[in-house]
Amino acid sequence: METYNLAQATQILFTTPIAVFSSESLAATLKISKERSAFSVISRLLKNGILEKAGKDCYILAQKPAHQFLIANYYYKPSYVSFESALSHYGILSQFPVEVTSATPLKTAKYCSKDKMYSYAHLKKDLFWGYDKSQDGFLIASPEKAVLDQAYLASKGLKSFSKDELDWSLVDRKKLLNYAKMYPDLSL
């Protein structure tokens, strides 16, 4: 982009499939090579309500907000949405959690953005599997993996787990039992 015309930048951003940006990915999308120019364009996009800041070095389009699970994946990498959030997403758990909960092989962390809490629970690297990319582009545990992640952290005293609160008709029991074999000391 030779000139940093706000209208051109807006058009490019609204036609890109990317929903969550860092300052670096914004500069690349807008073909801005100079850091100072990128900062200036990002500031103008924020000031004019085209972009919203969703967290530290995290931007979303104001008129086309990103799914909160996509933002959760973006904040802390690698991670996938699991536990209560995934169970609620699938309808297995009827309550909707206040925070978006994810699994990561990294250390446990929490982030707050725009009145939304994002938490990341550590799972051992050999338990970091069983997730897929959704149609909306975010990584989320399969229903069975989300149940097991929840049960596993509950067995460690880090989360609660009540079998009675879950709609088991939405869980593939055969897949659940096969996955459970890969968890150390976990009994359902």
Q: Are residues 169 and 76 in the same domain?
A: yes
The confidence score (pLDDT) of residue 2 equals 43
- pLDDT at residue 4 greater than cutoff 70: no
Q: Are residues 44 and 23 in the same domain?
A: yes
Q: Assign residue 21 the CATH number of its domain.
A: 1.10.10
29 phi, psi to nearest 5 deg: -60, -40
What token pair was written down for 76?
């802390």
The confidence score (pLDDT) of residue 109 equals 96
Is 101 a member of any domain? yes
- The stretches of 137-180 forming alpha helices (DSSP H) are 143-155, 173-180
DSSP 54-71: EETTEEEETTBPPPHHHH
Place of tokens 């940006």: 21
pLDDT bin (cut points 50, 70, 90) of residue 187 is low
Instruction: Summarize the confidence of residues 158-172 as an average pLDDT.
Output: 93
The confidence score (pLDDT) of residue 65 equals 82
Q: Are residues 72 and 151 in the same domain?
A: yes
Is 32 a member of any domain? yes
Instruction: Summarize the confidence of residues 147-167 as an average pLDDT.
Output: 93
- pLDDT at residue 72 greater than cutoff 80: yes
Alpha-carbon torsion (111, 64, 9, 17), positive or negative: positive
Q: Are residues 53 and 74 in the same domain?
A: no
Is 138 a member of any domain? yes
pLDDT in tens, 37-70: 899 999 999 999 999 998 889 999 998 888 999 9
pLDDT bin (cut points 50, 70, 90) of residue 1 is very low
Q: Measure CA 26 to chain center.
A: 19
Structural domain range at position 170: 68-180
Q: Are residues 114 and 147 in the same domain?
A: yes
